[in-house]
A and B are shown apart, each in its own frame.
Chain A
Amino acid sequence: MRFIRKTRYEQDLALFRHGGQRFWYGLLLLVLLAAPLLLDRFYLGELALVFIYAIAGVGLMLLVGYTGLVSLGHAAFLAIGAYAQAYLLVRGWPFPAALAAATLLTAAVGGLVALPAVRMTGIYLAVATLAFAVIVEHLIMNWTSVTGGFRGMAVPAATWLGMDFTGPTAFYLLCLGVLVLVLWLALNLLRSPSGRAMLAVRDSEISAESMGIHIARTKALAFALSAGFTGLAGGLFAHKIGYLAPDAFTFLISIQLLLMVVVGGLGSLHGAVFGAIFIGLLPQGLAVLRDTLPPAVAQLPGLEPGIFGLILILFLIYEPLGIYGRWIKVRAWLDAFPLYRRATHKRQKQYLRTERLQ
């Protein structure tokens, strides 16, 4: 157990809760910065992909984990960011300007989608976002002059002022830098009124309203931010895969993104990062699984989505707090060893909340 002595209110505004935390995160960042010296290009590429997933994960986490809105269509935002990035580079925009514009454009689309979507909840919202993703997929296939349609389009090299971000080390560092930036922005959000309004909307809309929070505006902002971060991830993803085609942004990707935040742990930024690592390891895991399963099963067409669904359901039932929740428990167990009580993490009795406003 660690007890933190607080003497000033500013302490609660700090990004790190105590010196130990700052030390460990600092060390982690140093290790990650030194990784190009130790790892070969394959692993650097895989890590860069994990960072990209994590950026999108933070975006989706703001929506699902912090505002309590489900999206089954986030692949669409990834796609918009990716195509915008490629298109703007083709048109000769400088690399950073293209990435910023792709981000803002996706955020704007997210805000527009939110206008009708914020009036819906739960399953209706999920279906609406799914429908949006289908529309975007069709748009990509048919708007040939911009997207190249079925044939797809090549993503120009990411160069700027003589620097080339396409090389494995440079691209890795770029993705790391963007992830750190995005995490910083999200942490800032969560310690200020805009973020707290989202938490309030998630936990009780009627209470939020009676605190003076504008529900529709808060949800729309959450959508825009979430889309923006996901679009930014899409812009980087475009460079990672090098060639864009509609089949890179299917429904399966939306599910994978959702899987990431649920498995990682809803309502925590750690969860977004843990989830990204999980998703990054998933293809290897699936490959191993395919090898061990009997060929008849391994070749089933719906195997991959089926497994995703299964994992999603298992986590929702057995560990709703995701990998992060599990990690907290392990850490508490280590801290308290050998005095750990089995019931430490049992929720106390939940008090009834009526649906009606009485």
Chain B
Amino acid sequence: MSLLVAERIGVSFGGVRAVQDLSFAVEAGEVFSIVGPNGAGKTTIFNLISRFYDVDGGRLLFDGADITRLPRHGVAERGIARTFQNTELFERETVLNNLLIGCHVYRRTGLVQDLLFLPAVRRQELAFRRTAEDVIDLLDLQHYRDQVIANLPYGIRKMVEVARALCLKPRLLLLDEPSSGLNPEETEDLAFWIEDINEELGITVIMVEHDMNLVARASDRVMALADGALLTIGAPEEVRRHPDVLRAYLGD
């Protein structure tokens, strides 16, 4: 069974049909990339899955369950984590605190326990900290642990956002243009990390990405969009050579 299924989803903003009548399925364990020119509707798909927008029609199924009407905070609880195209971090907090907030779905203590910092809270904090430290080690963020986000360079922020998403221990990770703003070395590292995340942690990845080399290297399948509609889905090389895709990128 596919992990994520989109059945004829669509959404419009005023006159703009950002996503129209789109169907696709993402298999558990794969890296699935979404490509397309600017304004094609890639980010909108993520925002539909995250429930920031309501679909005008169609359904989204995650692991067989309908998530089309889930409350926004319920998406993370189901095991879907995401990053944002221009990063959305907790600016005034440290990297560590950002990651600890990423552990929020695993909290079992309530307000009163927290206020009194009962032993259960302390144990939970230590468990969260171990999760955060594992992710810090994985993504090599040790140097930045206690730094406030607002003081970090862009490339590091991008990685902190990935790290924060990993703290949710998601089953599905949505990466929105992870390589934008990274230099070539950082992009190289990113390709390895996506591999690690996918293969070692067993997380299914959907990635919106412009860098075609990264897409070709990291993904199992690619979906190409233009003007909110599907062009084609297939192996990276196929999609790259597909006439509709060439036309969408180059104009006719």
Contacts and interface: CB of A to CB of B under 8 A. Distances in A.
Say whether A associates with B.
yes
Interface of A: 9-10, 12-13, 185, 188-189, 191-197, 199-200, 202-204, 206-215, 221, 225, 267, 347-348, 350-354, 357-358
Nearest to B86: A354
A117 to B, nearest CB: 18
Contact of B115 (A9, A189, A204): A189
B251 to A, nearest CB: 23
B47 A347 contact: no
Contacts of B77: 212
B126 A9 contact: yes
A12 B168 CA distance: 21
A353 B90 contact: no
Nearest to B50: A210
Interface of B: 43, 47, 50, 52, 71-77, 81-82, 84-93, 96-97, 100-105, 107, 109-111, 113-117, 121-122, 124-126, 129-130, 133, 150-154, 157, 164, 168
A196 to B, nearest CB: 5
A10 B129 CA distance: 9
Contacts of B73: 209, 212-215
22 contacts: A9-B129, A9-B133, A185-B115, A185-B116, A188-B114, A192-B117, A193-B109, A194-B109, A197-B104, A210-B50, A210-B81, A211-B76, A211-B168, A212-B73, A212-B77, A215-B73, A348-B150, A348-B152, A348-B153, A353-B88, A358-B43, A358-B86
B11 to A, nearest CB: 12
Contacts of B114: 188-189, 192-195
Nearest to B88: A207
A237 B71 CA distance: 42
A-B interface, 9 closest residue pairs, ranked by CB to CB distance from nearest: A212-B76, A192-B114, A203-B90, A188-B117, A212-B105, A193-B107, A194-B114, A207-B88, A209-B72
Contacts of A208: 101
A203 B86 contact: no
Given A185-B115, A191-B125, A204-B88, A211 B101 contact: yes
Given A9-B133, A185-B115, A200-B101, A358 B88 contact: no
**Chain B interface main SS type:** helix
B151 A9 contact: no
Contacts of B125: 13, 191-192
A210 B72 contact: yes
Given A209-B52, A347-B151, A348-B151, 15 more contacts: A9-B133, A192-B121, A193-B103, A193-B104, A194-B109, A199-B97, A200-B101, A202-B90, A207-B89, A209-B72, A214-B71, A214-B73, A350-B150, A353-B87, A358-B86
Contacts of B91: 203-204
A192 B101 CA distance: 10
Nearest to B174: A210
Contacts of B100: 196
Contacts of A185: 115-116
A10 B123 CA distance: 10
A196 B150 contact: no
A189 B74 CA distance: 23
Nearest to B82: A210
A191 B114 CA distance: 8
Most chain-B Cβ atoms within 10 A of its Cβ — which of A203, A215, A348, A354? A203
Contacts of B87: 351, 353
Given A197-B101, A212-B76, A352 B86 contact: yes
A206 B151 CA distance: 21
A352 B76 CA distance: 26
